[in-house]
Amino acid sequence: MNLKVNIAGVELKNPIITASGTFGFGREYSQFYDLSVLGGICTKGVTREPRQGNPSPRIAETSSGILNSVGLQNPGVDAFLKNEGEFLKSLNTVIIVNIAGSTAEDYCYVADRVSASDADMVELNISCPNVKAGGIAFGIEPKSVEAITKLVKSHCKKPLIVKLSPNVASISENAKAAECGGADALSLINTLTGMAIDWRTRKPILKNITGGLSGPCIKPVALRMVHDAYKAVKIPIIGMGGIASAEDIMEFMIAGASAIQIGTVNFYDPNAGIRLVNELTSLLKNSKIDDVNSVIGTLTDL
Amino acid sequence: MRLDLTAAEPLPFIQAGQFLHLEVPDKSLILRRPFCIYDHDEFSVTTYAAIVGRGTASLAGVKPGAVLKAILPLGNGFDISKYKNIGFLGGGMGCAELYSAAKAGAAAGKNIYAYFGFASKNRVLFESDFKSVAKKTVICTDDGSYGVKGYPISELKKDIKNLDAVLICGPHGLVKSAGREFENEQIPAFVSMEQRMACGVGACLVCTCAVKEGTEIKNKRVCMDGPVFNLRDIVIG
């Protein structure tokens, strides 16, 4: 039975990748299980300079989900490469470095640095809604998506995945724009902008006021958007949004994803990665599906 | 509310001040919540918590025999090995966080001095447990309905010459006043902080608090770099 998938020329041993912002640089969860079982790891977003992120509180829980406003707290690309590079390489899984920035120049700086490293792929974060100074500006309008993709692509020697925001008018238009800009693959969806209120104090729970919604409650939105993007482009799609079970993985792949990412589930099940690899293997075996690739984009009309 | 939990397998070593990360019965709430490890032995953990929202409310209604998943022990805990006469400064439910260190300290032959503050008589908790391990236990109430009227920090300061270190846990106001009162004192002071958490294991960067590091201010993880920090390093708003 084959679980291997190929994204833009990079082979992953299975479709399961851990999502940026939920897995640090792998150190913490490596204490729960051997991370080499994963198809890949997407690192926390790195920026040109070290960032402290947003003030606390940075989380509010909702029914079947969470709102986060962490912001891009990270050590900066140079410290990241110096201190985490060796460790990530030792994990024996595909390493996707997520990059972010406030200006086009910043993105290029980071892309240049990561291109010179051992990273397998780069994921371009143009959609994080938590940073006021930038990020969100790039990922909203299709023209902007195309422009930043094109610019970063010219600085990026690794296969480039563009991570799309769902907080847009048309996910299909943005998907096409990223493809036109030269993206080698797409990943979606990032978090949905939301809010939580403490009625007793009459204040927002998040210090940042708004945050990004993730977890099981966003799965229907994510599925719809993966399907729309799949119809719009030819490049491979990595789907994410509330995935917590092997059945969820199947749904995203049927909708058009060639691989998936798991994020919020890691918080309530630290062994989600290894559990899902095993559960997906069992599901395919019991369904007599010999090759996971045969599932991709097989949604049939009613 | 008090929760007594029995582990399915023997627990690892638990340092006083480390915490428990426990799921709640309401399955629409996906996150675990952090609770103090008030007391423990090889197979069991006791925690105390205030009922503050949907998660803790669902825990309050849990039936005996219910099975819940948890990760423990987490965080750095209190290291009191170097000190002999230790002051404990607590307020409200924060006092629960201090008990395991008081009990362990007393068992190791240290002298425990406890100074706690509560809003009023009907909010006083843990007094008899602390009295069983402490040389001196002072209970203060804001309204004077029980014990000393006033704040525990004033009582602790009267004895400060006899103390080698202070452990602190309580509401924002207590921590802030401690920061002020100890600014000109040399005594080592450690505070157990709290913050809304997601993963609890240091990966997600949700639970940070501002901590001085040299000339800079960094956002440190309460779940992993803490919850115990040097009082003088905490940036208290």
Which percentage of chain A shows pLDDT scores above 90? 92
Mean pLDDT, all residues of chain A? 95
SS3 of residue A40 by DSSP: strand
pLDDT at A105: 87
Q: How many residues would you count in chain B?
A: 237
Q: Which of B180-187's residues contact partners 24+ apart within 8 Å by CB, and which partners?
A: B181/B153, B181/B157, B182/B231, B182/B232, B183/B232, B185/B160, B187/B160, B187/B163
Summarised one tens digit per residue, pLDDT across range B74-99 is 999 999 999 999 999 999 999 999 99
Q: What pLDDT was estimated at residue B141?
A: 97
- pLDDT by residue (tens digit) across B138-166? 999 999 999 999 999 999 999 999 999 99
Q: How far is B87 from chain A (nearest CA, A)?
A: 29
In sequence order, the 6+-apart residues with CB closer than 8 A to the CB of B226 are B75, B76, B192, B193, B209, B220
Say what the pLDDT of residue A298 is. 98
Give per-residue pLDDT as tens, A221-260: 999 999 999 999 999 999 999 999 999 999 999 999 999 9
Predicted pLDDT of residue A129: 43
CB atoms B195 and A56 under 8 Å: yes
CA-to-CA separations, B42 to A188, B13, B74, B171, in angstroms, rounded: 45, 8, 16, 31
Distance, in angstroms, between A211 CA and closest chain B CA? 12
The nearest CA of chain B is from the CA of A28 a distance in Å of 6
pLDDT of residue A137: 62
Q: Tell me which chain B residue has its CA closest to the CA of residue A65.
A: B30
Can you say whether residue A175 is alpha, beta or left, with left for phi > 0 and alpha for psi between -120 and 50 degrees? alpha
Q: Which residue of A has its CA nearest to B201?
A: A28
B183/chain A closest Cα distance in angstroms: 24
A46 close to A99: Cβ distance less than 8 angstroms = yes
For the whole model, what pTM was predicted? Answer: 0.95
What is the pLDDT confidence band of residue A133, given thresholds at 50, 70 and 90? very low
DSSP helix/strand/coil, B154: helix
pLDDT in tens, A77-110: 999 999 999 999 999 999 999 999 988 888 999 9
Task: Show residues of chain B in contact with A55, CB under 8 Å.
Answer: 210
Q: Locate B166 and state its tokens.
A: 């202070």
Q: Give the nearest partner residue to A64 out of B30, B198, B202, using CB atoms.
A: B30
CB < 8 Å to A245, chain B: none
Cis, bond preceding B171 (omega within 30 deg of 0): no
Q: Which two tokens stand for residue B47?
A: 């925690």
A128, A156, A180, A217: the catalytic one is A128
pLDDT digit string, tens, across residues B28-80: 999 999 999 999 999 999 999 999 999 999 999 999 999 999 999 999 999 99
Mutate which of B24, B205, B216, B220 to test chain A, going by most A C-beta atoms within 10 A? B205
**CB-based contact, A57 to chain B, within 8 Å:** yes
φ, ψ of residue B147 in degrees (nearest 5): 65, -145
pLDDT the model gives residue A301: 77
Residues of chain A found within 8 Å of residue B207, distances taken between Cβ atoms: 56, 58-59
Distance separating alpha carbons of residues A196 and B29, to the nearest angstrom? 14
Q: Look at residue A44 in the predicted model and tell me its pLDDT.
A: 97
For B32, half-sphere exposure in the C-beta direction (CA atoms, 13 angstrom radius) is 23
**What tokens does B131 get?**
């009295």
pLDDT band at A135 (very low <50, low <70, confident <90, very high): very low
